[in-house]
Structure 1
């Protein structure tokens, strides 16, 4: 799958943080090398590492190498696909490099969907349908995992209606639940004689 751009630069459709979009350098493929297009090479690496969630230079170049391999069309890395994958990764605004796998699964899902749409062979359609289903489920699970990772596993539960029978006890206040532990906000006392 290749994408073609009519302009030499990618223009953002929605400018959330204009300074970040301008500052983030582009990546170019040159004969088995990945070049970061920026006037200052060290600053370019730093800006791209921040945009992609890479912790250091080795992580950045490893991530770029893997994305380039995943962008391949006819066994050769594709500049357009690589630019698309990097742009998708930037839009996720990762704090670490976990989102790169999501981008690769998304690209594989779209390639599989394209192949499915272009085949008339029934056995191949069945195989592609199974692969497409697995990829879509994997992507959904990755989205859920990313959401949990970003929220540190916290799950908010709000009780809107509370009924306490005669002689019952209730604790009034805000609570946070983590895994198997429930903790009340400090300074709250339980109401021993709360009646309905």
Structure 2
């Protein structure tokens, strides 16, 4: 692989005569590793670093090597899988090193999930079926959790705010002031009036007084 200086340019570069959105170069695999297939090695590495969301050559090399290992199919890395994974990373557009690592994990989890789905479809016995089904279930739950983590990171941990229109018809009342909402209970800033307890209902059964002792004596 051709050695090049560290990549410090964060914006995509383009050679003279090429459009600004240059085509992402492909990766060629060999026994010695990988190589970026581009007539200009420096520009090829720059385009690849931009696609992966990293700013230097070491970070680009590390992410690419991890994706190469995750693309293994049939015991060896697969250029088709790798090209798909890099294209997916580029489409999500990671903006820094944290997003680059998280997005690389996301595409790797997706590839492994689809691999488990293939194993599940070709399972020969119940043990293989159950093993593939469990692995697929864990990976399928992991992927949306990664999406949520990426969204939280991009929003700097701020909770989403939903704004709804409130209409008050004639004769209706609106709460003015601070309103705190917990679950389905809305508490206004005003102190509510104390609740009035309803009187207890009379007992259905009445207590019978014992007969007068004097009357029993006369009897």
Return the TM-score normalized by structure 2. 0.63
2:35 counterpart SS class: strand
2:217 aligns with none
C-alpha separation between the residues in 1 aligned to 2:32 and 2:74?
A: 15
2:107 to 91, 103, 106: 103
For structure 2, the residue ranges without an aligned partner over 5 or more in a row are 1-18, 168-172, 180-219
Residues 76 and 159 of structure 1: is their aligned pair in 2 closer, same or farther, counting only changes over 3 Å?
same
Measured on the aligned residues, the alpha-carbon RMSD in Å equals 2.0
1:156 aligns with 161
2:30 aligns with 30
Contact 1:164 1:170 in 2 (8 A): no
State the Cα deviation string for residues 36-60 of structure 1 (Å, max 9, x = none).
Answer: 1112211111111011112210010
C-alpha separation between the residues in 1 aligned to 2:131 and 2:33?
A: 35
For structure 1, the residue ranges without an aligned partner over 5 or more in a row are 1-17, 172-196
Matched, 1:43 2:38: no
Matched, 1:77 2:77: yes
Contact 1:49 1:57 in 2 (8 A): yes
> Larger Cα Rg: Structure 1 or Structure 2?
2
1:144 aligns with 148
C-alpha separation between the residues in 1 aligned to 2:149 and 2:25?
A: 29
2:177 to 159, 163, 169: 169
Contact 1:68 1:77 in 2 (8 A): yes
